[in-house]
Amino acid sequence: MIFLLRSLLQSKWVAEKLIVKASRCGIPVVIYRLGLICGDSRSGACNQNDLYTLLFDAMMKMGCYPETAFHSDVNGLPVDFTVNSIVNLSKVQSDVYGNVYHVVNLNGEIRFEDVIEAMRQCGVEMKSVCDEEWRMKVKAIADENSRFECTLTTVNLSFNEIEDIGAQHLANTLRNHQTLTILDLSCNQIGNNGAQHINDAFKENKTLIQLDLKGNPGHYCRTVSAAIQIRNDKTINKIDLRWKSIDDIGMKFLTDALINNEVTSFLDTHEIETLQQPNLDQTTKSFEDEK
């Protein structure tokens, strides 16, 4: 009898048995047995809720690591290599149905001590603590976070009637939020003033990677979304903003985002329509009067 202690391995075992049963019924299947999938080898993009990602994140935040982890290692495989392997296997062989493939890393394992040393080289102070102290620190920071902030990562507020004041309140709330990565505000009634509040808020917020403001009346919404993309996407090297009706303030949003971007090499703003800038002081005053 095989004892599978980990629930993940148990679920994989059950899934594979179901696939094998399906193949016996004449359904063409291929089984790919994957190991631990790590981040992309070029961009570093990874599953933020993965066990090891959360572990490394906790280590950096607390500036320490459990001493028993120092000499351990993990056999990880970059996600881009994994995907390419599966695609290539399906192309190379004409008859793959019924086959079982093991997609694993044969080039050695990733040592925790190398990960810790890499953190130190990036300026992160790391010290070794006993396992009991580590558990106490993790519990303390978890209790602290639970009182102030949930692990909210995605907010979808599309197709509502959010206007500038609502956008301002939302921006103030999310200014220092530490977990939000995706915000959908498409198809609302957000104008230029609301877009500015959102842009200002996410100058301080360092976690947002995707913002959707399409379908809002404010023409600044398009440039704010583009600015967020420029700030966070480290692989983008070309941006086409032709015919987007961007004015001087909109260009200020973009240039602020481009200041620390070292990748973008081509920005096409050909035939951008210049709009008259609204009187922002008067707009702000009208909002104050509404309050």
Q: What is d(CA 56, CA 64) in angstroms, rounded to the nearest whole number?
A: 10
pLDDT at 214 over 50: yes
pTM: 0.45
Percent of the chain exceeding pLDDT 70 equals: 70
Percent of the chain exceeding pLDDT 90 equals: 9
Last residue of a domain, one of 120, 147, 174: 147
Last residue of a domain, one of 147, 173, 206: 147
Q: Same structural domain for residues 197 and 93?
A: no
Domain span at residue 108? 9-147
| Structure-block tokens of residue 50 | 């993965």
pLDDT of residue 127: 92
Secondary structure percentages of the chain, helix, strand, coil, to 5:
45, 15, 40
Tens of pLDDT along 95-134? Answer: 667 888 898 888 778 888 998 998 899 888 899 999 899 8
Q: Same structural domain for residues 14 and 143?
A: yes
Q: How far is Cα of residue 134 from the mean position of the Cα atoms in its chain? A: 27
Q: Same structural domain for residues 166 and 260?
A: yes
Last residue of a domain, one of 91, 125, 147: 147
Q: Which of 190, 192, 201 is nearest to 166 (CA)?
A: 190
